[in-house]
Amino acid sequence: MQTRTWSVPGLAGLSALILLLLAGHAAADSTWNFKTINDPALDGIYSDISGDYVLYTGSTGNPVLPNSTCVIQLYSLSTGDQARIALSEKDATLAGPNIDGNYAAWFSETNLAGSAGNPDRIFLYTIPGKNLTTIRSSPDAGWPKISGEQMIWSESEKDAFVRSIVRYDIPTGNRSVIPGISTLNGAGVGFNGKYILYTDADTANLLLYATGTGATTTLFAPVTGNNTREIVFEAVLGEDYVLYRKDVSVERPKEYYSELRLYTISTGKTSLISPLTGAVIDTPSATDKAATFSPQSADQTRVAWKVATGIGDDRILVLNPATMAVSSVSPGMFVDFINLDGRNMTWLGLPSLSANGSIYLGTESGEPGLPANPVPTRAPGFSPFVAAGSLLAGVFLARKIR
């Protein structure tokens, strides 16, 4: 830990600065109130939110054990009521809940210990009519995404690693494979109706496909030079924004760090964002480089990411790029799988990595954020131990989804 000697006038100035910073931090954090919403009999796994509803998966036992039963729950924000709308079959699990407007979707897949050859299935649920339909059965269909009355999901032939993207029209039932799209990660595909965000299976480029024109835009291409390597690790798609994390590895001098990047679809501009303040910066500072963070969600107007501020103490930051207003909440727990919808958001919270997960609902009140600090800072630095710890936590939580 660095130390510094202060004079008496310096201490007085420092005290005033600390009070100012604490007041600003409290104002940002106090705008979010949160509570658990999952059935207390369930171990929460993953959730999505749209309007008045939260769709989430839960388990009656440890989700990583084959004898647990997975359920799909629908929670109403306005009434607090919730209904169990699906239950996993023997040797299968339910995953990938996604909701938009009047429609909800998820998929089932056979557990590793289950019977081989059982097909995966895509389910569509109409909320007003409480109607559940199986719209696709295949050896490897999963991770549905809904926008309005359009759907997509990923699917592969003969259980191959490379996946295509299938487009589905809900009113007509028409289904077609989008030509030219292939990815290795169906879970990481984003969809907002107008665009599909994905990582190309062959090149690892981060691509944005326009559903109306078929045009493809490259947002990022990996760098594999002798001294520097760069790759996109995570990305989320909103209405007009793509938020992604770029990992940078430098051989000489040895350095490894991540950058938070924001791409604006309407302008084609990419900005470097401080993961700690939400401000647009020119160069990441030492503290920016040392930060362990993860892009999580984007909605009509804002983007959200999490930052690890201590063991079991993650902070959620929400940025409106149009106004550069930032709000945040520090719920005092491990946080993952954040989904943002206006002034509401949900996440999976765990007091420890060995504890049961709970689904949390956060609600923002008051002013929708404070202006981000526009002053960029510059300095080198990195914390490889924290990055490794974050990766292990991510692997653990990813296993819980499956």
What is the mean pLDDT of the segment spanning 177-182? 95
pLDDT greater than 60 at residue 128: yes
The three-class DSSP label of residue 306 is strand
- The fourth-level CATH superfamily of domain 38-178 is Kelch-type beta propeller (2.120.10.80)
Kindly report the average pLDDT of the chain as a whole number. 85
Alpha-carbon distance 7 to 261, whole Å? 40
Largest Cα span, the chain: 75
Average pLDDT over residues 266-291: 97
**In 78-191, where does DSSP find H-type helix?**
none
When pLDDT is averaged across residues 354-365 and rounded to a whole number, the result is 92
**Is residue 368 within 8 Å of 325, Cβ to Cβ?**
yes
Whether the CB-CB separation of 79 and 55 falls below 8 Å is answered with: no
Cβ neighbourhood burial of 94 (10 Å; 0-12, 13-18, 19+): buried
What are the residue boundaries of the structural domains of the chain, listed by start? Answer: 38-178, 222-351+365-402
Residue 76, both tokens: 């109403």
Per-residue pLDDT tens digits for 74-93: 999 999 999 999 999 888 89
| Residue 368 pLDDT level (bands cut at 50, 70, 90) | low
Give every strand in the sheet of 370-371, ordered side by side. Answer: 293-298, 303-308, 314-320, 325-329, 370-371
Mean pLDDT for 106-129 is: 83
Q: What is the mean pLDDT of residues 320-340?
A: 96
Residue 29: half-sphere exposure toward Cβ, Cα within 13 Å: 12
| Region at 172 (left for phi over 0; alpha for psi -120 to 50; beta for the rest) | alpha
Give percent above pLDDT 90 in the chain.
72
CA distances from 225 to 231, 246, 250, 275 (A): 12, 15, 9, 26
pLDDT band at 297 (very low <50, low <70, confident <90, very high): very high
Catalogue the long-range contacts made by 275-279 (C-beta closer than 8 Å, 24 or more residues apart).
275/305, 275/307, 275/317, 276/307, 277/326, 277/372, 277/373, 278/317, 278/319, 278/324, 278/326, 278/372, 279/324, 279/372, 279/373, 279/374, 279/375, 279/376
> What would the pLDDT profile of 180-197 be if each residue is shown by its tens digit?
999 999 999 999 999 999
Residue 82 or 398, more confident: 82
Q: Shortest CA distance to 33 belongs to which of 326, 306, 361?
A: 361
**Bridging pattern class, strands 293-298 and 269-273:** unpaired
Report pLDDT for 366.
78
Please report the pLDDT score of residue 382 as a whole number: 28
Q: What is the pLDDT of residue 61?
A: 76
Q: Does residue 112 register a pLDDT over 70?
A: no
